[in-house]
Amino acid sequence: MATQQAELIFRGGPILTMDDARPRVQAVAIADGRILAAGDEAEVMATAGADTQVVALNGRALMPSFIDAHGHFANALQIVKWANVSGLPAGPVSCIADILQVLREHVAAHPVKPGEWIIGYGYDVSNLSDGRQLSRDDLDPLFPGNPVLLIHSSNHGAVLNSAGLKVVGIDASTPDPAGGVILRKAGSSEPEGLLMETAFLPIFTAMPQPSEQELLERFNAAQQIYARTGTTTMQEGATSAHDLKLIRKAAEQGRLWLDLVCLPLVLEVPKLVKEYFPDFSGGPMELPDTAAESFGTYRNRLKLAGIKALIDGSPQGKTAFWSEPLLTGGPNGEPDWRGQPLFPPELIQKIVKELAVKAIPIFCHCNGDAAIDLMIDAARAAGITAEQDRRTVIIHSQFMRPEQLDAYVELGFTPSFFTVHTFFWGDVHVENLGRERAYFLSPMASALAKGLHCSNHNDFSVTPVEPMRMIYTAVERISRKGEVIGPDERVSPWQALKALTIEAAWQIREEGQKGTIEAGKLADLVILDADPTAVPSADILRIAVVETFKEGKSVYKAAAA
Ligand SMILES: [Zn+2]
């Protein structure tokens, strides 16, 4: 057998393999998009030939590139054209006046015609020093002739101005839909501007969209958002039938240069079935027996990994579903508020059963412990066990009760945590839930102690794609006010890095191809300007990406300092 020659060799580390069996190596060789050799310098240099490029790392750290364990790629296609009204540091906002300023600047840079929507993202009352929600009265004087929609940081709601509310047909006579909230002006039934959950989701799906061609042309810029952070596997974690059609077209046209994992939204199953299985004559929430064959394989860098279900809303929006009431009441000041599920338990059971029978992996959004209970009950009713190795991902798993971790072990559930919450909303959670419940937010250390596989995510665009903030918050868990949100749940930098690499790969069944530096795996790699396991943890946030490689090909390179 002819020995293959390396195209590229990295040496002079540190090189973090993310493989517990061999955490560090001296050198790595790459050929044909894969890792040819990883090990001692002499062994790896033996694969060098006359044309091999040898890169000396000189103290910069090489490691497997990051895998987005949960986020919304479709939002990247939109965000490239939206106003960022996020709070510091994700955006520039700390009060209502800042939001108005951002909008003025955005419209100056991206002029709108009368009647055209002005859209912003990242709105959250907890970022505002004003101590109140942004109201349509704040927005109305600025753009009376344009509907305005500022999406809530949870992506589960938005604030609209009067023109926007008029376009979507919501007024004083509109009742709150089941599972939704229309915030009203004090002492009146007039909408104030904020719509949450089922009051928002249908209007958002009905928003006018850019042309297909325009969206296809945004794929490059959207992928750059990930590549510059060292992320080479992206996720579209709630894919509509409409978006999937667009993404498939982009993939077929060769526009994807990073891998994209899609999770079609369970609510869209009827539309998906109609499109992909036109001869199928089953019930509206059913899938044909052949559906499982469409899942699990990349085609043109696009893979369907499973179906996305969701049981509750967001904790910061107070629409998660908890077993015990919040200390601060509901979104409209309701006493004894513990949120509500988005769907009745019978429907959740039906969905979980159907997917389990068809052997399609389930990715289920659960934030509050009562939502997690519903999922646990549904899995038990469907006969799901750990031995079946289904890798049911419970996205967020944010406010668990400690004993629910045992149910995860029993059922083979695997949490994808959201530790950046400790920074962005940690103080809000302490206020709403008290310290005991807030401190068990995204309990990574407890989950690891039970032997669970845990990933971590940014839930882009709820928070920006920022692997370093995920690592930092998993390690330190410090809130905006400086409180450690659950000292017992802090993990080591190595564990925090595994959650973004090998563990995230495992959850999407790609641990044989990605997530560690081992001979034979894809050469999906990132060079960082420092080793996250070797710097003081407060400095992790300052670590910069130097270069990102997808299958051995450079897809991002920082400008030389
Ligand atoms: Zn999400």
Residue 493: predicted pLDDT: 98
Does the pLDDT of residue 450 top 60, yes or no?
yes
- The top-level CATH class assigned to 82-205 is alpha beta
DSSP state of 525: E
- Express each pLDDT in 113-155 by its tens digit: 999 999 999 999 988 999 999 999 999 999 999 999 999 988 8
Average pLDDT over residues 509-518: 98
> Are the CB atoms for 498 and 445 separated by under 8 Å?
no
Distance 60 CA to ligand 1 centre (A): 32
> Are the CB atoms for 146 and 112 separated by under 8 Å?
yes
Distance 313 CA to ligand 1 centre (A): 10
Rounded to the nearest integer, the mean pLDDT of the chain is: 94
- The top-level CATH class assigned to 8-65+520-557 is mainly beta
Locate the DSSP E strands across 454-544.
Answer: 455-456, 525-528
Distance 382 CA to ligand 1 centre (A): 25
Residue 284: predicted pLDDT: 67
Distance 526 CA to ligand 1 centre (A): 25
- Express each pLDDT in 287-330 by its tens digit: 787 777 788 999 999 999 999 999 999 998 899 999 999 999 99
Structure pTM?
Answer: 0.87
Q: Which of 82-91, 164-173, 503-512 has the lowest mean pLDDT?
A: 82-91
Q: Kindly indicate the confidence band of residue 561, based on its pLDDT and cuts at 50, 70 and 90.
A: low
Distance 91 CA to ligand 1 centre (A): 19
What is the DSSP code string of 258-269? Answer: SEEEEEEBGGGH
* Interatomic CA distance for residues 550 and 67, integer angstroms: 12
Nearest residue to 486 (alpha-carbon basis) of 447, 437, 537, 553: 437
Residue 270: predicted pLDDT: 79
Q: Which of 26-30, 64-68, 176-180 has the lowest mean pLDDT?
A: 176-180
Cα→Cα distances 310→314, 364, 365, 397, 487, Å: 11, 5, 4, 12, 29
* Interatomic CA distance for residues 7 and 443, integer angstroms: 42
Distance 189 CA to ligand 1 centre (A): 31
Q: Which long-range contacts (CB under 8 A, 24 or more apart) does 96-103 make?
A: 96/128, 96/130, 96/134, 96/138, 99/123, 99/134, 99/138, 99/150, 100/138, 100/139, 100/142, 103/139, 103/142, 103/143, 103/148
Distance 70 CA to ligand 1 centre (A): 6
Distance 53 CA to ligand 1 centre (A): 40
Fold of 216-507: TIM Barrel (3.20.20)
Give the total residue count for the chain: 561
Nearest residue to 67 (alpha-carbon basis) of 225, 230, 247: 230
Distance 328 CA to ligand 1 centre (A): 25
Q: Give residues with Cβ within 8 angstroms of 102, minimum separation 6.
A: 83, 84, 85, 91, 92, 93, 120
Q: So where are the chain's domains?
A: 8-65+520-557, 82-205, 216-507
Cα→Cα distances 373→9, 254, 305, 349, Å: 49, 42, 24, 12
| Amino acid making up residue 297 | T
- Express each pLDDT in 223-245 by its tens digit: 999 999 999 999 999 999 999 99
What is the DSSP code string of 4-16? Answer: PPPSEEEESS-BB
Distance 67 CA to ligand 1 centre (A): 15
Does the pLDDT of residue 1 top 50, yes or no?
no
Above pLDDT 90, what percent of the chain? 85
Other beta carbons within 10 angstroms of residue 297's beta carbon come to 9
Q: How many CA atoms lie within 13 A of 403 on its CB side?
A: 2
Average pLDDT over residues 411-421: 98
Residue 162: predicted pLDDT: 97
Read off the tokens for 90: 């994700």
